[in-house]
Amino acid sequence: MKVISYISVFLCFLLLYSCKKEIASKDIYGVWVMQKQSTADGPQFTKLLFDKEDYNWIDPVVSDTIFFFKKIAISGDTLLLIDGFNHPVQCVIEELHGKVLTLSHVAGFEKEITYKKVLDYSDESQGVDSKIVKASVLPKLVKASDISEDSLDVIVKSFLVWDYYQNYEKDRTYHSLSKAEMLQTKELLRRYMTDGSLGKDKYDNDDAYPFEQYIRQYESYTEKGHLYVKVTLNHFIHTEEGVGYTVLKQDSYSIEDGGPIHAVAIIDLTAKKVVYFMTNGLA
């Protein structure tokens, strides 16, 4: 009887295994928002954006960077990610059922993280127009007032920016700005915009919005022995539905007009002073 019981269990296992759906890469295409993490320790990887082969991101909120991957592939329960420098990163798919995805070993973090899909990219036949979601997601227009004050400062630190400086800014060298350097830059810019210097400078920027009414994006480079930080200030940004202001971590955000809604500042962090500040003109 015991032998028969073991055989029955084995047959049931084989049946379940044969019915198990093979996971395809398109099954994870979309925007996933973190629902829970098995422990409070470690980084909070709040958002995943998987879009076919060359546009994939893992966004940690408790960090000053973003992980960019140019290729993804699935083999069994392994999610393979190839970053911009062709380094492989492996995650383990613990569960993928409908709009629920549970991963472990995300960017080296061993504990399990559960995500909910808020935007579906899997329907390739309809292209970009199919990226529509009825769930509650961030709007296409994101204002500074939509974001908490301690989250208005964003360091863009991805492979795309590094690649830009390598290929197009021959006299400048890309610098990976640290959070401490960002905070130092922020204080120099805040002081400049609030102590009266802004209204007196040669660029006549007295129409700028108050400092706290801008989302501030930081990128950095070295030139002639000095460390410079470019700060792009946006009263609001336009972004793809479901992505939110994560777009500011992915690449440089530049608008040519719009008046004081948008501005650019250059801070010489070596000399500890603002060397340029200009609000946009009106088209």
Q: Per residue in 30-79, pLDDT tens?
A: 889 898 887 777 777 888 988 865 678 887 766 566 777 878 888 888 99
**What confidence score (pLDDT) does residue 46 get?**
83
The number of distinct structural domains making up the chain is 2
Contact between 247 and 169 under an 8 Å Cβ cutoff? The reply is: no
> Do residues 105 and 163 both lie within one domain?
no
Q: Are residues 171 and 223 in contact, defined by beta-carbon separation less than 8 angstroms?
A: yes
157 lies in some domain: yes
Domain region containing 128: 20-136
Same-domain check for residues 44 and 152: no
Question: Is the pLDDT confidence value at 202 over 80?
Answer: no
Same-domain status, 168 and 253: yes
Q: Looking at residue 26, which CATH number applies to its domain? A: 2.40.128
Q: How confident is the model at residue 221 (pLDDT cuts 50, 70, 90)?
A: very high
Whether residue 169 is found in the same domain as residue 240: yes
Residues 124, 151, single domain; the answer is no
pLDDT class for 209, splitting at 50, 70, 90?
A: very high
Of these ranges, 112-126, 164-178, 192-206, the one predicted with the greatest mean pLDDT is 164-178
**Judgement on whether residues 184 and 97 belong to the same structural domain of the protein:** no
User: Of the residues 68, 103, 136, which one is the last residue of a structural domain?
Assistant: 136
Position 82 in a domain: yes
pLDDT at 220: 92
Long-range contacts of 101-109 (CB under 8 A, 24+ apart): 101/28, 101/32, 101/48, 103/79, 106/45, 106/58, 107/43, 107/45, 107/58, 107/60, 107/67, 109/42, 109/43, 109/45
Residue 139 backbone dihedrals phi, psi, to 5 degrees: -75, 165
